Amino acid sequence: MNYIINAYKKSERSELFEADEGKTFLLIDITVKNNSKKTATISSNTMFDLTDRFGTSYNTSLGALSCLEDEKMEQLDGQIAAGSEFRGGIAFEIPKVTKGLRLIIQGPAGDGRSPVILY
């Protein structure tokens, strides 16, 4: 599996939700390529963790997920056929002043954790 971070952006609000005071939504646009010879399952909840430089973990929220819909970005969940790719998004609610964010990616078969430093 290859993971490509296409882009990420912050958003204060979605059409239906506003981030909690002092927080913002972080939307991450990712392409996952399945280079194997069998179908793989992608789960945004179990395969992706967002941490800061102190190791604090951040979760998704209804508002963050609503921002994905506003951006017309499909949530990164589902099946990827062998030899194909899937582009989608994951979203988290984070403090506005957070720095040193890392997206930790664990492959679908638990094949290790690879940190990607965002900012």
The yes-or-no verdict on residue 17 having pLDDT over 80 is yes
Which tens digit of pLDDT belongs to each residue from 46-95?
Answer: 888 899 989 899 988 888 888 888 888 899 999 999 999 999 999 999 99
Please state the rounded mean pLDDT for residues 6-16: 89
59 contacts: CB under 8 Å, gap ≥ 6: 92, 93
The band of 114, judged by pLDDT with boundaries at 50, 70 and 90, is: low
For residue 106, pLDDT beyond 70: yes
Partners of 23 in the β-ladder: 95
CA distance 114 to 112: 7
Asked if the model's pLDDT at residue 109 lies above 60, the reply is: no
For the chain, strand residue ranges (E) read 2-11, 23-33, 40-42, 48-51, 57-58, 78-80, 85-95, 102-106, 113-117
Q: Distance (Å, rounded) from C-alpha 78 to C-alpha 81?
A: 10
The DSSP bridge pattern shows strands 102-106 and 113-117 to be antiparallel
On the CB side of 35, CA atoms within 13 Å amount to 5
Write down the pLDDT at residue 45.
Answer: 85
Check pLDDT > 70 for residue 111.
no
Q: How far apart are CA 69 and CA 7, in angstroms?
A: 16
Q: Span 5-25, mean pLDDT? A: 91
Reported pTM: 0.86
